[in-house]
């Protein structure tokens, strides 16, 4: 009986030590916090080197960094919030942070791509015909010799889909 009690105590002690040594599920480890702090500092450096105009609002950007260096960043969402707050302190309506998924959405919606023959066209209200405003440089329309003010009187129809 004593052996079992001793073994049970050891298992409980081992469990407690294991619980103290490993974080709870979802909790950040010191390594995770360090990685988040490094990520935050990297963003600060990018803004400092490439975008910050020290004369814009006369804010001491180094003090801003110091304010956030002591913050406990538990995960990427905490880091994103800290970056947003840091950038908001600039009080610049054109400076903002977009997390990767929002950046991808914005990039997709603002990225232009050309398809077709490469023409800028308008409709002549009197004749209701298409008028070439300009062929786009390097486009099939330019290569075909279309010029501004050319009138498009007919378009070859594609065969119907099968």
Burial status of residue 43 (CB atoms within 10 A of its CB: 0-12, 13-18, 19 or more)? middle
> Using CA atoms, how far apart are residues 145 and 120, in angstroms rounded to an integer?
14
Instruction: Indicate the pLDDT class of residue 21, thresholds 50, 70 and 90.
Output: very low
CATH number for the domain that contains residue 55: 3.30.750.44
Specify if 9 maps to a domain.
no
Specify if 19 maps to a domain.
no
Domain count for the chain, please give it. 2
Specify if 51 maps to a domain.
yes
Instruction: Indicate the pLDDT class of residue 109, thresholds 50, 70 and 90.
Output: low
Specify if 157 maps to a domain.
no
Its domain, for residue 145, covers 119-152
Residues 94 and 46 grouped into a single domain: yes
**pTM score:** 0.51
**Phi, psi at 122, each rounded to 5°:** -145, 165
What's the pLDDT score for residue 1?
46
Residues 99 and 38 grouped into a single domain: yes
Specify if 124 maps to a domain.
yes
What's the pLDDT score for residue 116?
78
Instruction: Indicate the pLDDT class of residue 103, thresholds 50, 70 and 90.
Output: confident
Specify if 129 maps to a domain.
yes
Query: pLDDT (tens digit, 9 = 90+) per residue, 59-92?
Result: 788 888 888 887 889 899 999 999 999 988 888 8
Average pLDDT, the chain: 76
């Amino acid at each position: 009986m004593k052996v079992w009690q001793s073994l049970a105590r050891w298992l409980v002690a081992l469990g407690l030590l294991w619980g103290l040594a490993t974080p709870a599920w979802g909790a950040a480890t010191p390594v995770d916090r360090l990685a988040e702090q490094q990520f935050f500092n990297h963003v600060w450096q990018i803004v400092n080197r490439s975008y910050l105009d020290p004369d814009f609002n006369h804010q001491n950007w180094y003090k801003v960094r110091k304010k956030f260096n002591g913050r406990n960043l538990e995960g990427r969402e905490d880091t994103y919030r800290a970056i947003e707050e840091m950038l908001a302190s600039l009080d610049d309506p054109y400076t903002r942070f977009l997390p990767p998924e929002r950046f991808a959405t914005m990039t997709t919606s603002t990225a232009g791509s050309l398809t077709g023959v490469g023409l800028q066209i308008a409709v002549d209200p009197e004749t209701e015909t298409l008028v070439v405003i300009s062929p786009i440089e390097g486009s099939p329309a330019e290569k075909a010799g279309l010029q501004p003010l050319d009138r498009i009187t007919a378009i070859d129809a594609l065969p119907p889909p099968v």
